[in-house]
Amino acid sequence: MRLLIRPPKILRRLYKKSVWRINPASPTLYLTFDDGPIPELTPWVLDTLKHYNISATFFCVGENLLKYPEIAQRITNEGHLIGNHTFNHLKGWKSKNDAYLNNIEKCNSLSESKLFRPPYGRLKISQYKKLKDNYKIVFWDVLTHDYDKNISKEKCLKNSIKYTRNGSIIVFHDNKKAELKLKYALPAYIEHFLKLNYKFAVIN
**pTM recorded for the entire structure:** 0.96
Q: By three-state DSSP, how is residue 170 classified?
A: strand
Burial class (CB in 10 A: 0-12, 13-18, 19+), 111: buried
Neighbours of 68 (CB within 10 A): 18
Q: By three-state DSSP, how is residue 4 classified?
A: coil
| C-alpha closest to that of 114 among 123, 124, 105, 122 | 105
pLDDT in tens, 71-106: 999 999 999 999 999 999 999 999 999 999 999 999
Ramachandran quadrant class, 97 (left: phi over 0; alpha: psi -120 to 50; beta: rest): alpha
Q: Give the model's pLDDT for residue 1.
A: 43
pLDDT in tens, 132-177: 999 999 999 999 999 999 999 999 999 999 999 999 999 999 999 9
Structural domains in the chain plus CATH codes = 9-200 (3.20.20.370)
Specify the pairing of strand 81-84 against strand 169-173.
Answer: unpaired
Residues labelled as active-site residues: 34, 173
Contact between residue 15 and residue 137 where contact means Cβ atoms under 8 Å apart: yes
